[in-house]
Amino acid sequence: MDGAAASRRRFLQAGIAGGAALATAGAARAAGDPVITEVQDWNRYLGDGVDAAPYGMPSEFESHVVRRDVPWLTADPVSSINFTPLHELDGIITPNGLCFERHHGGTAIIDPADHRLMINGLVDTPLVFTMQDLMRFPRENRVYFLECAANSGMEWRGAQLNGCQFTHGMVHCVVYTGVPLKYLLEEAGVKTSGKWVLAEGADAAAMTRSIPIEKALDDCLVAFKMNGEALRAEQGYPVRLVVPGWEGNMWVKWLRRLEVGDEPWAQREETSKYTDLLANGKARRHTWLMDVKSVITTPSPQAPITHGRGQTVISGLAWSGNGRIKRVDVSLDGGRNWHEARVDGPSLSKALHRFYYDFQWDGSDMLIQSRAMDEAGFIQPTKNELRAARGENSIYHNNGIQTWHVKADGAVENVEVS
């Protein structure tokens, strides 16, 4: 709030106090809710003009709707993660300023005039593009979720963090505008021996991942807009890779280079990291796809039921790297019985889906769960099924069914169930 607005508010608050004193001294007050029966300051005094906020921010009453981090998760806030406040959001689109961040060398600040994208390796002509060049290719607009491979990773051993922001908030979903990666690769001319593409970032981590050429030529985008505006710096401004349905680590930000090769490169982020250790000591690599998943966002530990019994809305998100969500079921009794939820809004491939289950809460304890199914026929497993198959040390790719314990007072807790 600027100084003028602050002083106006103090003036208005003084006015309210004076008005209240007059009302008490005078005739009987009108019966009813005083925010209706009394003239409020926003009914009387003028608000801000159109020149007050060239780039608008959320209402001050929404100041709690913010990304949060968990300091003990990482050694340093620069190579770290924060979390989207899923419990406060609805629909399927994440506001740009609330999209979770994951950096390995902090947010690179790059003037687009100084940014270059190089294509080299097994191509007919290695090329360099400026941002202006990229803006001259035919564009596409696509809505996709981006989920960190480590989303829910802290929950492999059991219930740890109390809130869906922390257990499931390494995900966001926006409209990307960009150039199909296929066009850029074809512009350089991929040789027939080219089977893999290495994507590399321009930040201090110089993030690199190997991507099979089939995926690169299928649906990957080189994106420069999110939700209509330029990428946020923390999301890769001026340009990032979009790898629909696949783990967020591969969506290389500040994209500066694409190399075509005949073998994968076995980079740090696909050997030491983003490989999934199994109970037998073997580790899966190239676990690219994010499997079918869902979570109830309200009620949840950060969003308890405060209205008491009666009509109640359960709201949640479902998504799958395999395509569209076919159905979401909701259980109120820890998975003994299930009810088909209502998916509302766009149902787009590899995007978040919003579901609702509307019911009469009788005020008793509940163990609420959601179970998503995707169009490829995959069904979201329980955490115990995942642990039986993989053990507890995979770190990544935990898409197990989440349970919230709703108590009689409406408080909600992250729990594991039998």
Partner 1 sequence: EHDGAFKLGRAATEDEVAAWDMDIRPDGVGLPVGSGTVADGEVLYTDNCAVCHGDFGEAVGRWPVLAGGQDTLTDDRPEKTIGSYWPYLSTVYDYVRRAMPFGNARSLSDDDVYAITAYLLYLNDIVEDEEFELSNENFTDIHLPNEENFIPDDREQEAHYADKSEPCMTDCKPDPVGITMRARVLDVTPDSEEENTGG
List binders of partner 1 among 250-269 (CB under 8 A).
256-257, 259, 261, 263, 265-268
CA gap 200, 206 in Å, rounded: 6
> Could you tell me which stretch among 22-30, 237-245, 279-287, 343-351 binds partner 1 (CB under 8 A)?
279-287
Stretch that binds partner 1, among 51-59, 211-219, 281-289, 312-320 (CB under 8 A): 281-289
- How far apart CA 403 and CA 406 sit, in angstroms, is 10
What are the C-alpha distances in Å from 154 to residues 40, 166, 364, 394? 47, 9, 29, 10
Interface residue with partner 1 among 94, 152, 235, 302 (CB under 8 A) is 302
* Rounded-to-integer distance, Cα 117 and Cα 134, Å: 9
Q: Report the nearest approach of partner 1 to the CB of residue 218 (Å).
A: 17
Q: Which is nearer to partner 1, 212 or 363 (CB)?
A: 212
Nearer to partner 1, 23 or 415 (CB): 415
Of residues 62-121, which lie at the interface with partner 1 (CB under 8 A)? Answer: 64-66, 68-72, 74-76, 78-79, 85, 87-88, 104-105, 118-121
Residue whose CB is less far from partner 1, 119 or 174: 119
Between residue 4 and residue 63, which ones bind partner 1 under the rule CB under 8 A? Answer: none
To the nearest whole angstrom, how small is the minimum distance from the Cβ of residue 141 to partner 1? 19
Query: Could you tell me how many residues make up the chain?
Result: 418
Residue with token string 């400026």:
130
Residue whose C-alpha is closest to residue 316's, from 380, 369, 367: 369
In terms of CB distance, is 143 or 330 closer to partner 1?
Answer: 330
CB-based burial label for 308 (10 Å; 0-12, 13-18, 19+): exposed
* Size of residue set near partner 1 by CB under 8 A: 106
Subset of 133-172 contacting partner 1 (CB under 8 A): 133, 136-137, 158-163, 165-166
Q: Is 373 in the site for partner 1 (CB under 8 A)?
A: yes
Minimum CB distance to partner 1 smaller for 70 or for 175: 70
Of residues 169 through 228, those in contact with partner 1 by CB under 8 A are 183, 186-189, 198, 200, 204-206, 208
CB of 64 to partner 1, least distance (A): 6
- 5, 128, 313, 408: which one contacts partner 1 (CB under 8 A)? 128
362 binds partner 1 (CB under 8 A): no
Closest alpha carbon to 295 in 379, 387, 371, 375: 371
For 285, phi then psi, to 5°, come to -120, 165
Give the nearest distance from C-beta 362 to partner 1 in angstroms.
16
- Candidates 272, 306, 311, 360; binder of partner 1 (CB under 8 A) is 272
Residue 110 structure tokens:
């790059």
Minimum CB distance to partner 1 smaller for 19 or for 189: 189
Residue of 389, 388, 347, 77 whose CA lies nearest to 234: 77
CB 69 within 8 A of CB 82: yes
Q: Rounded to an integer, what distance in angstroms lies between the CA atom of residue 374 and that of residue 325?
A: 4
Q: Is 286 in the site for partner 1 (CB under 8 A)?
A: yes
The DSSP H or E segment spanning 220 is none
Among 6, 163, 143, smallest CA distance to 85 is for 163
CA distances from 360 to 14, 191, 260, 295, 357 (A): 44, 62, 57, 20, 10
